[in-house]
Amino acid sequence: MDAVVGAEDVRKTYGDVVALSSVSLSVGRGEVFALIGPNGAGKTTLVRALTGTTEPDSGTTQILGEHPMAVDRGRLGVLPQNFTPPDRLTARELLAYYAGLYDEARDPETVLADVGLADAGETWYENLSGGQQRRVCVGSALVNDPDVLFLDEPTTGIDPAGRRTVWRLIEDLAAAGTTVFLTTHDMAEAERLADRVGLLADGELVAVGTPEALVAEHGGSSHLAVDTEADATAFDDLEYPTEVRNGSVVVDDVSPAEIGTVVAYLEGRDLEYTGLTWAEPDLEDVYLELADDAELARTTRDEGTVLATAGGGPGR
């Protein structure tokens, strides 16, 4: 693969906290790579390491074959996670300002329209809604028509319609050959946009692959959730594995054609139910499967720390 973005054995710590632990990855030309993972997993640190705004303790990163700080700035577009531009400039002025920093840039009016803010161009940034503000920020990363685009949680706070506008924009950029590296907590966003998804948990890249491959490997099977008051033991004779999840009895490995078999089982035993929900596994199941382990380990560790502190302190 022609690696446009790369990390090799990157490690970064903040005091005792390991933000990144031996992370290696590469992203090809024109590829959309989505990084998912829990809060505090190290996603933003990895974006910073890749864009050169943090120095890894060890390991190397590169963009377009060069150190991130040496790469031609005109070919790079970056949206930091907590970015807030000058708040008393209008949306139009902000895009013109960032466009003015490059030798060659897109027409700010076009970018304004692309992010769906043509009607809000004269509004000060501070008076825009949270979602509109984020769209301006996304626009600021696009004004130079970059070859490589880093978007750290680009659609946070944006309403569903606006989110789709941004998604279409990213899809168009990728179709035109732009390499996109994004982080997100929105699994639908990752599943729709990404050619490959990486899952980061506790600073480690625990899985990388196409959404389909990750779902096939880690997502589990399709399942039918039965909303019922009946006890789980009432399903013991059913030919499918069952378990109680979120207050429902979940019947696993059920294809759409087999739903009738389960319904017949329920009615044959006079088991009352108020709803049936069938679902295929998706990226969220992958996330919960892989990230939950890390979350569980972290909360168990934290609880242990709290208990130890509460019990160990003098006079408490």
Partner 1 sequence: MTRLARIRAEADADWRSFVRRRTAVFFTFLFPVILIVIFGALVRTDPTGGGLFAEPPAYYVPGYLATVVLFTPLSRLGSEVARHREGSRFEKLVTTPLTRGEWLLAQTVVNAAIIGLAALLILGLVIALTGANIVFSPLLVPYVLVGVVCFCGIGAMLGSYTDSRDGAVAASNAIGLPLLFLSDTFVTLEQLPGWFEPLVNLSPLTYFARGVRAVTFPQAEVATVGSLEPAIANLAVLAVLAVVAFGLGARSIPQTD
Identify residues 200-229 at the interface with partner 1 (CB under 8 A).
none
Using CA atoms, how far apart are residues 174 and 180, in angstroms rounded to an integer? 7
Contact range with partner 1 by CB under 8 A, out of 78-86, 108-116, 223-231, 254-262: 78-86
Q: Tell me, by CB under 8 A, how many residues bind partner 1.
A: 36
Residue 142 interacting with partner 1 (CB under 8 A): no
User: Could you tell me the CA-to-CA distances from 27 to 6, 68, 141, 186, 197 in Å, in that order?
Assistant: 6, 14, 19, 20, 10
Q: Which residue's CB is nearer to partner 1, number 73 or number 269? A: 73
Rule CB under 8 A: is residue 83 a binding residue for partner 1?
yes
Stretch that binds partner 1, among 32-40, 74-82, 205-213, 238-246 (CB under 8 A): 74-82
Angle between helices 160-175 and 130-142 (to 10 degrees): 10
Contact 138, 151 (CB under 8 A): yes
Using the minimum distance from each CB to partner 1, give the nearer residue, 44 or 184. Answer: 44
Q: Least distance (Å) from partner 1 to the CB of residue 62?
A: 15
Q: Which of 65, 86, 241, 256 forms a contact with partner 1 (CB under 8 A)?
A: 86
Q: 280, 259 in Cβ contact below 8 A?
A: no
Q: Binding to partner 1 by residue 290, rule CB under 8 A?
A: no
CB of 125 to partner 1, least distance (A): 10
Q: Considering beta carbons, is residue 140 or 179 the nearer one to partner 1?
A: 140
58 binds partner 1 (CB under 8 A): no
Among 51, 61, 165, 184, binds partner 1 (CB under 8 A): 51
Q: Which is nearer to partner 1, 150 or 265 (CB)?
A: 150
- Shortest distance, CB of residue 188 to partner 1, whole angstroms? 26
What is the rounded CA–CA span in Å between residue 268 and residue 279? 24
- The contact mask relative to partner 1 for 183-202 (x = CB under 8 A, - = no) is --------------------
Q: Which residues bind partner 1 (CB under 8 A)?
A: 48, 51-55, 69, 73-74, 76-89, 93-94, 96-103, 124, 140, 144
